[in-house]
Amino acid sequence: MNPLANKTILLGVTGGIAAYKVPLLIRDLKKKDAKVNVVMTENAKKFVTPLIISTLSDRLVESLWEGGIPHISLREEASLLCIIPADYNIIGKAASGVADDLLSTVISTFDKEILFFPSMNYRMYDNPIFKKNIKILKDFGHVIIEPDTGELACDEEGRGRLPDISRIMLEIERALTPDLLKGSYCLITGGGTGEKIDPIRYITNRSSGKMAYSLARHCFMAGGKVELIMGITNIDYDRNLPYNIIRVENARDMQKEILKRWDRVDYLFMNAAVSDFTPEKVSNIKIKKKEELEIKLKKSIDILADLKNKKKSQFIIGFSLETNNLLNEAKKKMKEKKIDLVVANDVSAIGSGSTSGFLISKGSEEQFECSKDELSWKIIGKISSKKY
Ligand SMILES: Cc1cc2nc3c(=O)[nH]c(=O)nc-3n(C[C@H](O)[C@H](O)[C@H](O)COP(=O)(O)O)c2cc1C
């Protein structure tokens, strides 16, 4: 599911320093098959040249007086308007209904979704007049994407940085994705857990966390409120994402974090590969090198089995990975642990971008062989349509 395919995105670029990032955004939008039209303010042209923008985009409209009625035709063609960077000035103009150039006039006609990406020095951002203008825009239903905090172009630290392009892309994708999970709290676990042997070593498994990151991204795109509890993973996807990521190491900590949130959960995606075994004894000093070492393992906690008795309206999506009897083992797990939907994966899914197996719910099973992103979307489609 690519929400950008064949959609026209209209970008409004204003005179902020972060305008230099817009060509990179256009490139990423085009890679995802979107059509990109652009309007720049006169001051934006001092930060990034119209030549770069017109070369990369489908169309750059430079002025209200270019011919035709651009503020009407640009609106008609576009699915979404993104003001990026949205400087102090355009936020003020939009909030007070000023239409004195092409961009502000386009905003005045644009009755579809508008995303504003403010970016400025933190003093401008903290100005009470600006805060009031932001509130006005929010009250009119416009979406404001909060800037990041960090190093600013003026060599100062504070809130006002334009988020990374990957984050901006995610917000645009979210705006164009059907709100299948609107307002639902989606708790996702992922990665492997590690069970300590001594202060330095643990036993773990090969789970990569890719599926959980994909689920989090797609639940967010579908309008869900997302939190991700991530065990051991060597994938560094979690910088600058718009949802909370809680890092844990072992099964007990993962269980604790789930229980803290349990009463709020609408959907639990139990995707983590939780260790089935844990060392019977943990050494509190490093075990020295020797010819042989025997580690006795005992059964670890079973998070899903324990949740069975606490289940009220929560919908549980369980993941099962087997080398043998995939379907039968998954069905057994579903019944024993009161899971609503089981995703039975073949072992080849570990660490890979694609996966194959079965989606199993009461009375139905569907075979799949697809990318993890496609599988995330299939699962969301299924749970939101209550076809399980
Ligand atoms: C070097 C420089 C950098 C600027 N960066 C920003 C910025 O990041 N955000 C902002 O709101 N204004 C910034 N400004 C101020 C705007 O360019 C100014 O308010 C201008 O009138 C905006 O015009 P426009 O909204 O029509 O593009 C900057 C000005 C200069 C000279």
Give, for ligand 1, the residue of 11, 17, 122 to mutate: max count of ligand atoms closer than 8 Å to Cβ: 17
- Residue 240, pLDDT score: 74
230: tokens are 């991530």
Are 115 and 175 contacting, i.e. CB atoms less than 8 angstroms apart?
A: yes
Rounded to the nearest angstrom, the distance between the alpha carbon of 174 and the centre of ligand 1 is 28
User: Could you tell me if the CB of 14 is within 6 A of ligand 1?
Assistant: yes
- Residue 238, pLDDT score: 62
Architecture of the domain spanning 8-176: 3-Layer(aba) Sandwich (3.40)
- Could you state, in chain order, the average pLDDT of each consecutive group of 10 residues for the chain (388 residues)? 95 97 98 97 97 97 87 93 98 97 96 97 96 98 94 82 94 96 97 94 91 96 97 79 92 97 97 94 94 94 92 94 86 91 87 88 90 95 77
Domain with CATH 3.40.50.10300 in the chain: 185-384
Q: Determine which one of 82, 154, 219, 370 is catalytic.
A: 154
Q: Determine which residue's CA is closest to atom 22 belonging to ligand 1.
A: 15
- Residue 5, pLDDT score: 96
pLDDT tens digits, one per residue of 207-243: 889 999 999 999 999 999 999 999 999 887 766 788 9
| Cβ partners under 8 Å of residue 207, min gap 6 | 190, 191, 192, 231, 232, 233, 272, 273, 350
Rounded to the nearest angstrom, the distance between the alpha carbon of 15 and the centre of ligand 1 is 4
Domain with CATH 3.40.50.1950 in the chain: 8-176
Fold of the CATH domain 185-384 = Rossmann fold (3.40.50)
Q: Is 325 left (phi over 0), alpha (psi -120 to 50) or beta?
A: left
User: Could you tell me if the CB of 90 is within 6 A of ligand 1?
Assistant: yes
- Residue 388, pLDDT score: 45
Rounded-to-integer distance, Cα 295 and Cα 290, Å: 13
Rounded-to-integer distance, Cα 218 and Cα 181, Å: 10
Amino acid identity of residue 2, one-letter, is: N
Rounded-to-integer distance, Cα 28 and Cα 284, Å: 50
Place of tokens 């995802």: 32
Rounded to the nearest angstrom, the distance between the alpha carbon of 166 and the centre of ligand 1 is 24
Other C-beta atoms closer than 10 Å to the C-beta of 229 total: 26
Report CA-CA distances (Å) from 296 to 37, 201, 280: 64, 15, 6
User: Could you tell me if the CB of 60 is within 6 A of ligand 1?
Assistant: no
Rounded to the nearest angstrom, the distance between the alpha carbon of 17 and the centre of ligand 1 is 7
Q: Determine which residue's CA is closest to atom 2 belonging to ligand 1.
A: 17
Give, for ligand 1, the residue of 88, 98, 107, 133 to mutate: max count of ligand atoms closer than 8 Å to Cβ: 88
- Residue 207, pLDDT score: 87
Give the chain's end-to-end CA distance (angstroms, integer). 20
User: Could you tell me if the CB of 15 is within 6 A of ligand 1?
Assistant: yes
Active site residue 154: yes
- Residue 289, pLDDT score: 92
User: Could you tell me if the CB of 107 is within 6 A of ligand 1?
Assistant: no
Place of tokens 């026209």: 8
